[in-house]
Amino acid sequence: MTTTAVTHIASLVTNDPSLGNGTPLGLIQDAAVVIDGDRIVWTGESSKAPATDNVLDAAGRAMIPGFVDSHSHLVFAGDRTQEFNARMSGQPYTAGGIRTTVAATREASDEQLSANVAHYLAEALRQGTTTLETKSGYGLTVEDEARALRIASRHTDEVTYLGAHVVSPDYADDPAGYVDLVTGPMLDACAPHARWIDVFCERGAFDGDQARAILTAGRAKGLHPRIHANQLTYGPGVQLAVELDAASADHCTHLTDADVDALGQGDTVATLLPGAEFSTRATWPDARRLLDAGATVALSTDCNPGSSFTSSMPFCIALAVRDMGMTPDEALWSATAGGAAALRRTDIGRITPGARADLVLLDAPSHVHLAYRPGVPLVSAVWRGGQRVE
């Protein structure tokens, strides 16, 4: 194997509190990282780095773990520019929202859908995202949901079955029948292609009892639960997530004190998706309240064509710092280690020996610049699994 050292890193985020300055970020100044194959084998002060086959001088730039984006909806076709334009122009918009995407996705070929996933994955990678979860949810038939997951699994290991995104228009008069489909034949067809099961628990989508039935059925087929919870209104989603040991409750915008307490005490990560609030001009989730209660918080893009069409984790970090009460350090942790926790992964989201060599070099002396210089493309190099990819 060839070893490579990246030296003279002005500020290295390891996410190991036993290293460096002792904060959760485990910051090391004037640091080096050594890669062997697809793994990190050494992390420490640059002056103490072992001899390696290759050396790359970071010349005073900062390095962070690759971003872990634990929530996206990339298997889609079609365009919803008009909907966004109307929303941002204060005009009423009466077209079908999510149904527009369902219709376009059903009509698209496998090749079109796969090319679309590849396109947005590459876009995310250029912005430093080295792990990305994605979901089905725009097919809503047995065949279309299974197809979406088959396509997604060609591009990422983190694949989520979201047949319960909304009740299919085909079952508008029979939501119970749709839940039977989602927990029966559709689950059977989808489970082999997915790791996770998700449900949109919200007024107008699926209520608490339906969500429980869906997640429980998925768990019986070997899928682990995660949940879209408390995005638009207060509801049972967050507490159901904690009760079922879901890896993550995503959105968490409208929370009661009991919801916050449950997240503070349980193992379920609270994943906040500020791109959605930004793109719908909605109320921000209160990250400070969750952090102060002891909850583990992740940040993610929710990249989807309707409510959050961004693949940029740096943008989400900037929003979280500016509008959600997070410090720059907390936001960086949540976009890396937090995302890993939301996917129950320990091999990513940190720069320590044994972790996968997913590294991002910033064209800046510190990770704080991700919030300090919003909208500026600061990612200057990306490694995934030890391979330089950008």
Of the pair 305, 349, the CB lying nearest Zn ion is at 305
Total residues at interface with Zn ion (CB under 5 A):
1
Q: Identify the sign of the CA torsion 248, 76, 230, 273.
A: positive
Whether residue 306 is annotated as binding a ligand: the answer is yes
Of the pair 52, 300, the CB lying nearest Zn ion is at 300
Short-list 56, 40, 41, CA closest to 7: 56
Whether residue 73 is annotated as binding a ligand: the answer is yes
Whether residue 93 is annotated as binding a ligand: the answer is no
Beta carbon of residue 269, minimum distance to Zn ion (angstroms, whole number): 15
Whether residue 224 is annotated as binding a ligand: the answer is no
Whether residue 127 is annotated as binding a ligand: the answer is no
Beta carbon of residue 58, minimum distance to Zn ion (angstroms, whole number): 35
Beta carbon of residue 362, minimum distance to Zn ion (angstroms, whole number): 27
Of the pair 164, 263, the CB lying nearest Zn ion is at 164
Cβ 56 vs Cβ 7: under 8 Å: yes
Tell me the residue length of the chain: 390
CA 130 from centroid of its chain's CA atoms: 11
Owner of token pair 């060839």: 2
Of the pair 259, 302, the CB lying nearest Zn ion is at 302
Owner of token pair 């396509």: 151
Beta carbon of residue 231, minimum distance to Zn ion (angstroms, whole number): 8
Beta carbon of residue 276, minimum distance to Zn ion (angstroms, whole number): 7
Neighbours of 184 (CB within 10 A): 12
Residues 271-310 that bind Zn ion (CB under 5 A): 302
Write the Ramachandran bin of 177: left for phi over 0, alpha for psi from -120 to 50, otherwise beta. alpha
Whether residue 347 is annotated as binding a ligand: the answer is no
Cβ 190 vs Cβ 145: under 8 Å: yes
Q: Identify the sign of the CA torsion 241, 242, 243, 247.
A: positive
Short-list 248, 255, 239, CA closest to 324: 255
Beta carbon of residue 174, minimum distance to Zn ion (angstroms, whole number): 25
Whether residue 302 is annotated as binding a ligand: the answer is yes
> What is the C-alpha to C-alpha distance for residues 382 and 64, in angstroms, rounded to an integer?
10
Whether residue 21 is annotated as binding a ligand: the answer is no
Q: For Zn ion, which residue has the nearest CB?
A: 302
Whether residue 80 is annotated as binding a ligand: the answer is yes
Residue by residue, DSSP assigns 348-389 as: SS--STTSB--EEEESSSSTTHHHHSTT---EEEEEETTEE-
Beta carbon of residue 135, minimum distance to Zn ion (angstroms, whole number): 7
Residues 299-358 that bind Zn ion (CB under 5 A): 302
> What is the C-alpha to C-alpha distance for residues 344 and 173, in angstroms, rounded to an integer?
38
CA distances from 122 to 64, 75, 117, 130, 155 (A): 19, 14, 9, 10, 10
Of the pair 120, 383, the CB lying nearest Zn ion is at 120
Binding residues: 71, 73, 80, 138, 165, 228, 231, 302, 304, 306-307
**Footprint of Zn ion (CB under 5 A):** 302
Binding residues for Fe(3+): 71, 73, 228, 302
Binding residues for Zn(2+): 71, 73, 228, 302
Binding residues for N-formimidoyl-L-glutamate: 138, 304, 306
